Amino acid sequence: MGDPKFLRRLYDTPKHPWEASRMEEERKLLDRYGLKNKRELWKAQSILRGIRQQARELQAKLRAGGPQARRETDQLLGRLARLGVLPVGSPTLDDVLALTTEDILKRRLQWIAFTRGLAPTVKGARKWIVQGHFAIGDHRVTRPGYLVPFADEARLGYSPTSPLANDDHSARVLMRERAESRAAPAPPPSAPEEA
């Protein structure tokens, strides 16, 4: 049928746009995770809302019984465990309902690249991702909002064609020096010398 004429939004906006307490919490999340605008936060909240809605529906179906509900529950829990949002052990639907927006934001490529020490700041990680400096395995990823599966997290690194792949690149040397200076203990204060 061809491409849709108008793409649908992937998020829902808040019902009360000027609520001060919600706006303050959104601002904190934007600053902490280096999000470009509130739309990215609303996308994560919409993803979480969809997951939680599916979990609530599955809880109701499980009470009624049926093998299809059990299969769908296992698929949902397996998908969230592969994504790294839930622990691999034996999660339940109650664990899914206890998820927060931060659990989704922590799986973004931008945040993972920063926490693994591949970028100096969260906003720097975003810039380098958009410029094409990161790859998962052999595939270059240029979307900061890409949700990284737990199995692919270990394969995250610099793109082979990126200048940052060189250990002697000035930005990487500077990052190493900063990390070493933070890790080195401060020297004890010396006693003043008497004249």
Sequence letter at residue 43: K
| Residues 85 and 119 both lie in one domain | no
Residue 192 lies in a domain: no
pLDDT at 134: 98
DSSP state, residue 194: P
Query: Does 54 map to a domain?
Result: yes
Q: Looking at the domain assignment, is residue 48 inside a domain?
A: yes
Residues 35, 195: Cα–Cα separation, whole Å: 57
Same domain, 86 and 41: yes
**Same domain, yes or no, for 25 and 53?**
yes
Flag whether 72 is in a domain.
yes
Contact (CB, 8 A) for 156 and 113: yes
pLDDT digits (tens, 9 = 90+) for 124-155: 999 999 999 999 999 999 999 999 999 999 99
Phi-psi category of residue 174: left, alpha or beta, with phi > 0 → left and psi -120 to 50 → alpha: alpha
Is residue 31 predicted with pLDDT exceeding 70?
A: yes
- Confirm whether 195 is domain-assigned: no
Of 55, 73, 105, the domain-final residue: 105
Burial grade of 30 (CB within 10 A; 0-12, 13-18, 19 or more): middle
What CATH number is given to the structural domain containing 123? Answer: 3.10.290
Instruction: Name the DSSP letter for residue 185.
Output: P
Q: What is the SS3 assignment for 158?
A: strand
Q: Do 66 and 122 fall into the same domain? A: no
In the block, residue with structure tokens 């969260």:
122
pTM score of the predicted model: 0.88
Q: Is residue 162 part of a domain?
A: yes
Which candidate, 144, 13, 156, 153, places its Cα nearest to that of 85?
A: 153
| pLDDT tens sequence across 37-91 | 999 999 999 999 999 999 999 999 999 988 999 999 999 999 999 999 998 788 9
Q: Do residues 25 and 88 share a domain? A: yes
Q: How many domains does the chain have?
A: 2
Measured in residues, the chain has a length of: 195
Choosing from 75, 105, 135, the residue where a domain stops is 105
Do 40 and 97 belong together in one domain? yes
Domain that holds residue 43: 20-105
Residues 80 and 134 in one domain: no
Which one, of 96, 99, 101, lies nearest residue 29 by Cα? 101
User: Where do we find the tokens 């529906």?
Assistant: 57
Reading the block at residue 4, the tokens are 């849709």
Tell me which residue of 107, 116, 114 sits closest to 145, measured CA to CA.
Answer: 107
Are residues 37 and 96 located together in one domain of the fold? yes
Query: Within this chain, do residues 99 and 118 fall inside the same structural domain, yes or no?
Result: no
Of the pLDDT bands very low, low, confident and very high (cuts 50, 70, 90), residue 195 is low
Distance CA 11, CA 194 (A): 68
Instruction: Decide if 11 is inside a domain.
Output: no
